[in-house]
Structure 1
């Protein structure tokens, strides 16, 4: 039986996914390159998280250098995921980018059992493949956005790795502390990457310093989507498996596509095939909590 506390946590997770669905829209509203955008996002997030940890009187310490290294490295994975995510939206549309992210659960269904040394669950693979079938339908009808879909697929793979690694770290550390060190790793990586990109002229037309209007969206990404949403999602990993979290994140295209159409109108209108594929993704999300009730209960599902 689902308790009220579990229901609140699940609704909280959906609220976080709604916030993340808005990030692709935000990425199209700023003038800086995806690399620079992720740098400002993570750099400001470090300051915000430091304040939160200090106010809550939490400890900044970690048990050993190995764990610290894992957090910093995971931050680099997260930064790479965000760079590819925003780049996908830039070269295609926010809707295509979000649809490609729906394969996160498919990647997770293979990565999580491998990392945790557990057998692959047929149900998770089947629903992941269903989500992937939805992506295939999208790809068939939106072939002109192949590059954007490819970048989104790579971003989804990195997102799956990031979530699985965090699901192990959260068993020993507070979510805000984990996110704090990950943002440090991400900001150092993106700063170095931004200099290399400028030196190699990969982003010659993109400014380094954001325009005045950009700061509103950058602060939203840093404080709402990162300090709040990212840290809270890590905390929710104590209750839910990485697979369930990433499967719920598949709703990000649904929320994001609706938001993109609201902000950009006809530019984000897609073919009927696109929406059919998105419907398959939504069905995979809704079927998981129903079908999983008939699966043998496992300790890992509760996030313990």
Structure 2
């Protein structure tokens, strides 16, 4: 039993490592951010559809529910576009550091969606996050465009995560993701057709290297990571899963430093700011868990 638990913990850390590696892949692929996300979501949708057919999963859904999931699909598409856009105009370290601000946005979005009061200590943590961002901006101002895109990406990611939390109360994770991905592909297709260069020869002129990394991104980092994370949550508490995923920027920034030392090595102020943000995120998770533990203890006593 203990051995199985260890295997699941190691599997969880592998998934977090894969999530951090996503930023590295974004740096390796030469396509623009919009085309990159279009291919990613299209390939992942096809793979997920094959999984649904093999597993014989029921994906029937009402029109009202589909509309809600479609909105979320557009949000996740925009999140990925801004995330990879941030990497392309700056670097992976900047994008990942800004992505860490997601917990700050979630502290305001969650009370609105779930109709609860804003917790005081989350506001304090939010102010500390702002300090971390200030240190990064001050020391790496040349990457300001990437920082702005990264912060927008973090906000969209938090909004998407909170909305999905509500959707999971009524639908399976597989059904949610499948319709979100289809909607994301449709949205980006319309955008490219109406506002981009259209589906010309350049759009489909993808190098073998890009095809390889796109397939890794869509299969391992998207379809597999999603299915595996759902499996892991059967054996490990959701809190542990969420808290462990907060290590994603650390893995990602570490990988970026090892693989691209020339473009990814940043100033000392950047790393101080990044670790202030990460420290706040982890502290927030630990504090929430401690409060929930105390509540459960009181209930057991009564």
TM bucket, shorter chain:
0.7 to 0.9
CA contact (8 A) 2:129 2:280 kept: yes
Q: CA deviation at 1:74?
A: 0.7
CA deviations 1:166-201 (Å, max 9, x no partner) are 01111222211211111100111112222334349x
Alpha-carbon spacing, 1:244–1:109, altered in 2? closer, same or farther (3 Å) = farther
Question: CA offset at residue 120 of structure 1?
Answer: 1.6
Once residues 123 and 9 of structure 1 are traced to their aligned partners in structure 2, the CA distance between those partners, rounded to angstroms, is 32
Quote the residue 1:70 is aligned against.
Answer: 68
Query: For 2:250, which of 249, 254, 264 is the aligned residue?
Result: 254
Deviates further, 216-225 or 126-135? 126-135
Q: Where do residues 139-150 of structure 1 align in structure 2 (5 Å cutoff)?
A: 139-150=137-148
Alignment of 1:110-121 (within 5 A): 110-121=108-119
Determine the structure 2 residue equivalent to 1:137. 135
Corresponding position: 1:104 with 2:105: no
Q: Is the 1:75–1:185 contact (alpha carbons within 8 Å) kept by the matching residues of 2?
A: yes
Equivalent in the alignment of 2:34: 35
Instruction: Give the alignment of 1:1-304 within 5 angstroms.
Output: 13-62=12-61, 64-199=62-197, 207-233=203-229, 236=233, 240=238, 245=242, 248-295=244-291
**Do the aligned partners of residues 186 and 47 (structure 1) sit closer, same or farther apart at CA in structure 2, a change above 3 Å counting?**
same
Superposed displacement of residue 48, structure 1 = 0.6
State how many pairs are aligned: 292
SS at match of 2:118: coil
Aligned counterparts of 1:205 and 1:132: Cα–Cα separation in 2: 44
Contact 1:33 1:207 in 2 (8 A): no
Q: Which residue in 1 is equivalent to 2:299?
A: none
Q: Say if 1:214 and 1:44 are closer, same or farther in 2 by CA, change over 3 A.
A: same
Query: Structure 2 CA distance, aligned partners of 1:161 and 1:230?
Result: 18
How big is the alpha-carbon RMSD for the aligned residues of Structure 1 and Structure 2? 3.0
Tell me the equivalent position of 2:300. Answer: none
Task: Write the distance in 2 (CA, Å) between the matches of 1:116 and 1:249.
Answer: 22
CA apart distance, 1:56: 1.5
Q: Matched residues in 2 for 1:70 and 1:13: separation? A: 29
Task: Give yes or no for contact 2:12–2:241 (8 Å, CA) kept in 1.
Answer: no
Q: Distance in 1 between matches of 2:260 and 2:141?
A: 21
- Partners of 1:141 and 1:105 lie apart in 2 by 23
Q: TM-score, normalised by structure 2?
A: 0.85
- In our comparison, the structure showing a higher alpha carbon Rg is 2
Which range is displaced more, 20-29 or 146-155?
A: 20-29
